[in-house]
Structure 1
Amino acid sequence: MAQSSVLRKRPNERKMESAEKQGRTDRSHSTTDGVSSTKPVFNEKESKRNAIIVRTIWTFIMLIIFFLIIGIGPFWIISAVLLIQVGVFKELISITTKKATNKDLRHTAYLNWYFLLTTIFYLQGRSFVRYSLENFIVSHYTGAIAINLLMNHKFISYCLYVLGFVFFVSSLRRGHLKFQFAQLCITHMILLLVVLQGYCIINNILHGIFWFILPVGLVITNDIFAYICGITFGKTQLISISPKKTVEGFIGAWICTTIMSVFLTFIFSNSAYFICPSANDVLVNCLSGVQCDPNPVFIRQIYRIPSYLSKIVGKDLIQIRPIYLHAIILSNFASLIAPFGGFFASGVKRACGVKDFGDTIPGHGGITDRVDCQFLMGSFSYLYYETFISTHQLNVGNLLQTVIINLSADEIVQFVKSLHSYLYKIGVIDEETFRKLNALI
């Protein structure tokens, strides 16, 4: 009986021994894991906190870089805008050309970049050549080439585009036609939304840094307050394509951005460096001591207060700079319309199945994720300036460009002699100088 009881216990003992071995194995694993346990264990709250820290640090880094570029002058601001255009184009194209690599249509990417360079040459080429001709080109041979580029710029741009069109048609492949034509349409849409609107932003810089920094500042302000008001009061979803956007955040940002527009205008409009046009000299900086005759919108003007308001404030007239009224209009666009550029970008990301356009900026995603609203705001600011602000004054650069493009060499000589004669008649130069100048040409 004792022997049988021992035999009956053996299966239990085997189970206990197996459990002990399993326990030792588990402990050995836990010991092994103990080495790796020094690594951080995934925690959703900790992950979010780290993401917020990285995002905040890079926000300050971007702000420092932004104000540094603003301080060193229009040339570098324009260069930064061009680089941002290229970066945004690269991110958007990279999302849509992945299938091209899989389908062995690698030439599609080269064609996209070709169209980008052609578009930039058409929009910015003339200004670049003219500025180089005025400031850098000294060789007669190089100068002649630059003048021909100026005179035939549109025709050259058209020929370059047609060359790209011919290359596209010749690259069509059976079985991939739908994809290739869709890619062509996407490329042109990106050029329209990014490069063309980037051209408008560059013109804003040439009108005066104020017309660049105020719209940019309004969009940034609206983005910040939309986030703050959204997490504080947000309950009602604004648009399905962006679930985190709320009506309360949208309205709160609108009110705060309108108030901030007055504050930002007060800061930037009191500096000649910001309000003076830089079309004639893009190499100035904040230490150059820029001076100019300000646009009338920056000068105080007298306005009559409506009768129903004059009784309340106790005044019939008010003296204010018109730029404050224009800034409020810009702030309304930045709050009510420009965010839809961001919603549009969100739709593109969802359509392409990506979370961000890239990982260029840690904690923020790609460049496109940060400037998606800026392009729409920049184009509106440009058209608003040209319609309601610009005085269309003739400057030396525009006049010189007109003379070079429209007059022959003999006509230019005659024009210069006429200027000498005019200066002599009004007493700016004496008779001897007048004769010497005419003798030289």
Structure 2
Amino acid sequence: MPSVRHRKAKSPSPLESTSSASDCLIEGSKSDESGEMGTEPVVNEKERKKQAIIVRTIWTLIMLFFFFAIIGMGPFWIISTILLVQVAVFRELISITTTKASERDLRYTSYLNWYFLITTIFYLEGRSFLKYSLTYLIESDYTSEIAIKLAVHHKFICYCLYVMGFVGFVASLKKGYLRYQFTQLSVTHMILLMVILQGHCIVNNILHGMIWFLLPVGLVITNDIFAYICGITFGRTQLISISPKKTVEGFVGAWFCTILMSLLLTYIFCTNAYLICPFTNDLAVNCLSGIQCDPNPIFIHQIYRLPSYLSLLLKKDYIQLKPIYLHAVIISMFASLIAPFGGFFASGLKRALKIKDFGDAIPGHGGVTDRMDCQFLMGSFSYLYYETFISVHRLNIGNLLQTVIINLSGEEIIQLVKSLQSYLYKIGYIDEEVYTQLNKML
């Protein structure tokens, strides 16, 4: 009779017992009716993903609500939000690269980074702010000599501020950490160039008209959504190695859908004066202000002659079309073919730094940078495209007033006023009595 060998069960070590118990508590594993362990960890993984989707959806709706609310509040609040976003992105990016500064007793490194940020924002946005401030100060009963001096010497003041930062950086150099400090200076300037400068372009887009802000933003969001939908539906071929989940099918499908969405969004936006009128003199307007303007010619129907093959197909020789639709298609091409590479760039940077997200400011979405990686590139393109192909460079009161104050002396301004009075009298806009009284006052 063959002998039966009984294998002695190995008793778990105290550490293994504790680990097993902890795993049971964390995963919530339960024995089924047959006495075997169930597959509860899989269920919990599904629950975790479900919870993540719920959180992501809730915060998406919250962000959409605040986005549309700020759009309705007007350009002042939108620009303020853009500035806050720039600061948040700068903070997330710079914090990743300066984590070792405190450990190396380089306390001035962080201060210099923020000093360069403030100086850059003052240079890029300060002049526009002063221009609108001058219009307000002169129309009111109070005139600020400080504001006028800042406007006149703005560039020189900014240069002096930058030189002071440069001197401060050189003075803070510490032997043994020179490589690290010069690397930090380079990283800071790169972030300023890619975030703050391109953010300045977005601010200018808002001043040109709300549509030049909403259309690029909407197209980037559309492309991101349909790239995901088309990717999970048809995706088979990997697009780029640094983003394994991006597929060629999703990229092409998003390109097609973004073009269609550009036509729909343009149709919706171009009929609203609040969205197409530039904000030239007053940033305090909102969606209820009833703003009106002479629209840019691209928002007016124009007649185009069709090519012969289209004439035969449509049985028409001419077609009426607003040029804005053609411009929107071109902008959508950039949003779907080029702007996504801003996201690929961010993915590559995160892989290089071995981090999942740039931050955790937005639950379910990561940091602010994770949501803005494509928007900055899109904003700069939209600004340059507008200035190159669309802008009519109309003279407005704000620009004229700023030019007069900065470049003319008091006597020259009086002579200009007298010349304008004489012109108004000659064209019959003011009568002789008013003209005589105005001359006596001067």
User: Shared fold (TM-score greater than 0.5)?
Assistant: yes
Measured in 2, the distance between the counterparts of 1:399 and 1:49 equals 58
Match for 1:227: what amino acid? Y
Which secondary structure does the structure 2 equivalent of 1:392 belong to? coil
Structure 1 residue 309 corresponds to structure 2 residue 292:
no
Alignment of 1:171-320 (within 5 A): 171-320=172-321
Residue in structure 1 matched with residue 430 of structure 2 by the alignment: 429
- Confirm or deny: 8 A CA contact 2:132 2:282 kept in the other structure: no
Calculate the TM-score normalised by the size of structure 2. Answer: 0.90
Measured in 2, the distance between the counterparts of 1:171 and 1:406 equals 40
Residue in structure 2 matched with residue 62 of structure 1 by the alignment: 63
Which secondary structure does the structure 1 equivalent of 2:363 belong to? coil
Write the deviation string for residues 388-408 of structure 1: whole angstroms up to 9, x where unpaired. 000111111111111111111
Calculate the TM-score normalised by the size of structure 1. Answer: 0.90
Superposed displacement of residue 149, structure 1: 0.7
In structure 2, the CA distance between the partners of 1:30 and 1:222, relative to structure 1 (3 Å rule), is closer
Superposed displacement of residue 56, structure 1: 1.0
Alignment of 1:308-387 (within 5 A): 308-387=309-388
Match for 1:425: what amino acid? K
Measured in 1, the distance between the counterparts of 2:198 and 2:108 equals 27
The answer to which of 149-158 and 345-354 deviates more is: 345-354
Taking only aligned residues, the RMSD between alpha carbons, in angstroms, comes to: 2.4
Match for 1:397: what amino acid? G
Measured in 2, the distance between the counterparts of 1:245 and 1:34 equals 37
Residue in structure 2 matched with residue 410 of structure 1 by the alignment: 411
Superposed displacement of residue 439, structure 1: 2.2
Which secondary structure does the structure 2 equivalent of 1:238 belong to? strand
Superposed displacement of residue 41, structure 1: 6.7
Q: Specify the structure having the higher radius of gyration (Cα).
A: 1
Measured in 1, the distance between the counterparts of 2:249 and 2:46 equals 26
Superposed displacement of residue 50, structure 1: 0.9
Write the deviation string for residues 319-375 of structure 1: whole angstroms up to 9, x where unpaired. 000000000000000000000111111111112221101000000000010011000
Superposed displacement of residue 38, structure 1: 11
The answer to which of 147-156 and 100-109 deviates more is: 100-109
Residue in structure 1 matched with residue 168 of structure 2 by the alignment: 167
Write the deviation string for residues 17-62 of structure 1: whole angstroms up to 9, x where unpaired. xx9xx9xxx9xx979x789959997822211111111111111111
In structure 2, the CA distance between the partners of 1:47 and 1:30, relative to structure 1 (3 Å rule), is closer
Match for 2:191: what amino acid? I
In proportion to residue count, which structure has more helix? 1
Measured in 1, the distance between the counterparts of 2:369 and 2:63 equals 14
Structure 1 residue 133 corresponds to structure 2 residue 134:
yes
Measured in 1, the distance between the counterparts of 2:395 and 2:132 equals 17
Superposed displacement of residue 431, structure 1: 1.4
The answer to which of 46-55 and 265-274 deviates more is: 46-55
Measured in 2, the distance between the counterparts of 1:264 and 1:427 equals 46
Residue in structure 2 matched with residue 5 of structure 1 by the alignment: none
Which secondary structure does the structure 2 equivalent of 1:244 belong to? strand
Which secondary structure does the structure 2 equivalent of 1:303 belong to? strand
Superposed displacement of residue 139, structure 1: 7.2
Match for 1:130: what amino acid? K
Superposed displacement of residue 269, structure 1: 0.6
Superposed displacement of residue 418, structure 1: 1.0
Measured in 1, the distance between the counterparts of 2:437 and 2:113 equals 55
Which secondary structure does the structure 1 equivalent of 2:428 belong to? coil
Measured in 1, the distance between the counterparts of 2:134 and 2:298 equals 33
Which secondary structure does the structure 2 equivalent of 1:293 belong to? coil
Measured in 2, the distance between the counterparts of 1:373 and 1:34 equals 42
In structure 2, the CA distance between the partners of 1:292 and 1:35, relative to structure 1 (3 Å rule), is closer
Write the deviation string for residues 401-432 of structure 1: whole angstroms up to 9, x where unpaired. 11111111111111111111111111111112
Measured in 1, the distance between the counterparts of 2:27 and 2:170 equals 57
Superposed displacement of residue 130, structure 1: 2.1
Residue in structure 1 matched with residue 152 of structure 2 by the alignment: 151
Residue in structure 1 matched with residue 124 of structure 2 by the alignment: 123
Measured in 1, the distance between the counterparts of 2:26 and 2:378 equals 53
Superposed displacement of residue 318, structure 1: 0.6
Instruction: Give unmatched runs, 5+ long, in structure 2.
Output: 1-7, 31-39
Measured in 2, the distance between the counterparts of 1:241 and 1:90 equals 24
Measured in 2, the distance between the counterparts of 1:36 and 1:344 equals 36
Match for 1:258: what amino acid? I
Measured in 2, the distance between the counterparts of 1:128 and 1:34 equals 58
In structure 2, the CA distance between the partners of 1:209 and 1:36, relative to structure 1 (3 Å rule), is closer
Write the deviation string for residues 206-242 of structure 1: whole angstroms up to 9, x where unpaired. 0000000000000000000001011111111111111
Measured in 2, the distance between the counterparts of 1:139 and 1:293 equals 30
Measured in 1, the distance between the counterparts of 2:91 and 2:68 equals 25
Match for 2:366: what amino acid? G
- Confirm or deny: 8 A CA contact 2:123 2:154 kept in the other structure: yes
Which secondary structure does the structure 2 equivalent of 1:101 belong to? coil
Superposed displacement of residue 440, structure 1: 2.2
Residue in structure 2 matched with residue 6 of structure 1 by the alignment: none
Superposed displacement of residue 310, structure 1: 1.0
Superposed displacement of residue 100, structure 1: 1.1
Residue in structure 2 matched with residue 10 of structure 1 by the alignment: none
Match for 1:64: what amino acid? F
Measured in 2, the distance between the counterparts of 1:369 and 1:36 equals 30
